[in-house]
Amino acid sequence: KAADKLRLKMYRLYSYARRQYDMEMSNPKFNQMKGEIQALFVDASQQLAFMNDDLLKMDEKTLMGYFDKEKGLASYKFGIEQLLRSKKHMLPLAEEQLLSLTGLYSSNVSEAATILNDVDIPAPTVTLTDGTQVELNYANYYKYRASKVPGDRAIAFRSYWKNHKKYENTLAVLFDAGMKMDLFNARARKFASCLQARLFQDNIDTTVYYNLINEVKNNLPSLHKYLKLKQKMLSLPTLKYEDLWASAVKSVTKLYPYNEAKDIVMKSLEVMGPEYQDGLKQAFNNGWIDVYPNKDKESGAYSDALYDVHPYIKMNYDGEYSNVSTLTHELGHAMHSWLTNKNQHFNNSNYTTFLAEIASTFNENLLMEYLLKNETDDNLKLFIIDQFLERARQTIYRQTLFAEFELAMHQQVEKGQTLTAEWLNNKYLDLTRTYYGHDKGVTLVDDFIEVEWSKIPHFFYNFYVFQYSTGFVSSMALSENVISGKTGAVDKYLGMLKAGNSDYSIKLLQNAGVDMTTSDPYK
């Protein structure tokens, strides 16, 4: 209880500093606060390391016997079972304390890559097809890669990545260091591979990862069929990689005022029942959401929860359909946290990333279903379907491509090799051409795409991206159960959200109705 109290206090301090910083990034005071509390986390981790060491030295039968004698320990049982499962991968106390000190610098490599990518690489100036000159920073690249003008898409892609290629060797060194940090941690804890080390904590067998790659690649014909249709709708003689982000349908100018978006989200989620609706009302009415863009406010959106307060949602709402989708996405995370926190003890109140992306994309699926039933404008319906199919392409296929590339990077350093720009370029280009059907005449993937790996920050997150794919596939299966009115589907799904971290992810998902160890959800 003392350790819980300490951790909760530190989470409160970090949450305060982080929320303030994200609202006012130009204020150095909040960044300093954030750094101070991160250092405190490392210090606390060191000083609390003796607890696991003491527990692991105890006789296992005696230790587990305490749970029969003292009912107040019940909420700690799963955590102790996890610790005992980890016994062969734990180090003596002095070594654990030394290993925890790597937290002081473990994020520096990824931060250096981010600063290089987002700040230090100078943006080129390009001339668009109409003669307009623009500075091709990432925001403009992101904008013009989706342009309705094929020539502008080509200019944005080619100029951006040819400029990026100048820094490929520095970025390769950073990627090499990032993968080798994962290798250091895996070998220090006596795991057979980096992948096994990462999945062990969630008790996920490595076959789940390989199953994802195999099943998605077995279903590449579905992607290729979609891309052929997209080429036809875009009236292109050849579909090129730089055409993939262009919308295949007419742009829809409809804007959704925030109050209308709230109403749509509430109605689309009515099927989830009164408890879920109550949580949504609290989020909208009790100040959980910072809605609009503001000076010095961080871009993008997220949801983050504080156990004994409530979830916080950061939006930069602008009224576009994509922002309505983002709103319900972040509310999915928030309701997951809210239901978990209501039903679980603090030390079981978190949930794994493997489950996190299910709750968010589940809501997006119900939003699409609601709008397709209730909208009368066929162009808008077509736009919504197009947006959904693009999300499927990017979440299932693109993220699985990333997952296979990340696995290859780790396997390369496991063999004692160094990640060079040449190796990274060749591997990435080969995989991209395989997934997008370059040799089958589906999509032309030019050589300059080879350096796209250098801009993906998630590769530093230690096997994170595969969970976008598994989460999307799982949420599709679960939302289909709810939409079709399958008996008990809502209650089973809510049971998973309420369970938090009280059991292993695969088991909680199986209880909800989806088994990702099989091929069924993919099919």
Question: What are the Cα distances from residue 184, in Å, to 95, 178, 187?
Answer: 14, 10, 5
Examine the residue annotation and report whether 330 is marked as an active-site residue of this protein: yes
215 neighbors 280 (Cβ within 8 angstroms)? no
3-state secondary structure string across 140-180 = HHHHHCCCCCHHHHHHHHHHHHHHHHHHHHHHHHHHHHHHH
Alpha helix segments (H runs only) across 375-439: 378-392, 399-414, 421-435
Residue tagged active-site, from 215, 330, 357, 364: 330
* 249 DSSP 8-state letter: S
Kindly report the number of other CB atoms within 10 A of residue 92's CB atom: 10
Q: Is the dihedral of CA 72, 78, 83, 88 positive or negative?
A: positive
Question: What are the Cα distances from residue 522, in Å, to 209, 210, 469, 479, 482?
Answer: 13, 13, 10, 14, 18
Buried b (16+ CB within 10 A) or exposed e, 433-462: bbbbbbeeebbbbbebbbbbbbbbeebbbb
The first and second tokens of residue 346, run together, are: 């603090």
The first and second tokens of residue 377, run together, are: 């404008």
Question: Strand, helix or coil at 251?
Answer: coil
CA distance 410 to 404: 10
449 neighbors 432 (Cβ within 8 angstroms)? yes
Burial class (CB in 10 A: 0-12, 13-18, 19+), 480: middle
14 neighbors 34 (Cβ within 8 angstroms)? yes
Catalogue the active-site residues: 330
